[in-house]
Amino acid sequence: MSRCEKCWRDAHRDGPFADVAAVYARLIDERKDHPCTPEEQAGGAAQVCPACGHTTLHQLTRECMVHGCRGTRG
């Protein structure tokens, strides 16, 4: 399962001594009613999904971040 790159990036803004995993978990919980877009979740180096045509293939896992899309690039 891929993580949200926007939330992961934002979790690092609390300073060098922050518990990044705890901050990330808090952000995910805070944003559950207004989640990041699939494009934001995929990250800045995302690629176009061949299945749905959106720039939503996660920059590391190449899993499509669009809910229900099964697109991946191996």
pLDDT at 60 (0 to 100): 96
Q: For the chain, what is the HEC assignment?
A: CCCCHHHHHHHHHHCCCCCHHHHHHHHHHHCCCCCCCHHHHHCCCCECCCCCCCCCECCCCCEECCCCCCCECC
pLDDT at 17 (0 to 100): 81
Domain extent at residue 13: 5-36
Residue 69 lies in a domain: no
pLDDT at 16 (0 to 100): 77
Residue 12 lies in a domain: yes
Q: Greatest CA span in the chain, whole angstroms?
A: 41
pLDDT at 70 (0 to 100): 84
pLDDT at 15 (0 to 100): 79
**pLDDT mean by block of 10 residues, the chain; 74 residues:** 93 86 95 97 97 97 94 70
Residue 48 lies in a domain: no
Whole-angstrom distance, CA of residue 45 vs CA of residue 17: 27
Residue 26 lies in a domain: yes
Residue 9 lies in a domain: yes
Residue 65 lies in a domain: no
Is-contact 46 24, C-beta < 8 A?
A: no
Residue 42 lies in a domain: no
What is the model's pTM? 0.86
- Total number of domains in the chain: 1
**Which token pair is 72?**
């991946």
